[in-house]
Amino acid sequence: MHDHAHGRRAIDSMIRGQDLGGLLRLAETFHGHLCPFVSLGVKAGQYAMASLNRSNTGMEEIIAIVECNSCFTDGIQVVTGCTFGNNALIFKDLGKTAVTVARREDGMAVRLLVQPDYREQMFARYPNAEPLFQKIVVERQGTPEDWHRFEHMWEAIARRELKTPLEEQFVIESLTITLPEYARIYESRTCSRCGEQAMAPRTIGPATEPVCLVCAGKDFFMLTGQGITAVSPD
């Protein structure tokens, strides 16, 4: 592919050079803040991409299968370049902090699962963080001073965790998988009721008079912080 079409050249260089700090800075701009699980996503993504030795231009040559919708997944998206928008990110709603990154041409893949006791071990390393985590993240309480202390502490932990040995953080498995076909390109149809366009498989009725799912009053799926759920139009 021509040089001008390869927008990830700098990221590829960071991956090859194991520049985890640089990759984490990029993830911070995407995620909005730093935390240990963004750091874990960056480390998992870098390890997987280096192991597969394959660049990603966003044309589905690399596929990432994430098993959670959390901070970890944002680190994965930034480093691997696999996103919902380029159809290279697959979401398995399993609630596990894990990712499988695969090479399309041969199905070669690596799965990284965060160690079951990682959080406990992390808080053992940084005992002052756990009470603040409980207050700020779990209970969504705390004074402005608590928030300030926590943000600085959480950012520092995220950076320090880059240096923790990978085997203490992850269970790593190399495997070969069968990947889904390339994403299909569907025509758009204009809803005969609201006038808005929708992807053809998300309409009902004949092509001459399609109706979108909302106007038809049909349930549809939505991804929220609680996972994938079926919802009804308001």
- Check: pTM over 0.85? Answer yes or no: yes
Q: How confident is the model at residue 46, as a pLDDT?
A: 98
The whole-angstrom separation of Cα 12 and Cα 17 is 8
User: What's the sign of the alpha-carbon dihedral 178, 181, 183, 186?
Assistant: negative
pLDDT in the model for residue 76: 98
The pLDDT score that the predictor gives to residue 4 is 45
Predicted local distance difference test score (pLDDT) of residue 226: 86
Confirm if 79 and 42 have CB atoms less than 8 A apart.
yes
- Per-residue pLDDT at 1: 44
Kindly tell me the sign of the dihedral angle through the C-alpha atoms of 39, 45, 48, 52. negative
Per-residue pLDDT of the chain (234 residues; tens, 9 = 90+): 445 446 899 999 999 999 999 999 999 999 999 999 999 999 999 999 999 999 999 999 999 999 999 999 999 999 999 999 999 999 999 999 999 999 999 999 999 999 999 999 999 999 999 999 999 999 999 999 999 999 999 999 999 999 999 999 999 999 999 999 999 999 999 999 999 999 999 999 999 999 999 999 999 999 988 888 999 887
Task: Give the amino acid at 32.
Answer: G
Q: Which domains are assigned to the chain?
A: 3-176 (3.30.1330.130), 188-231 (no CATH)
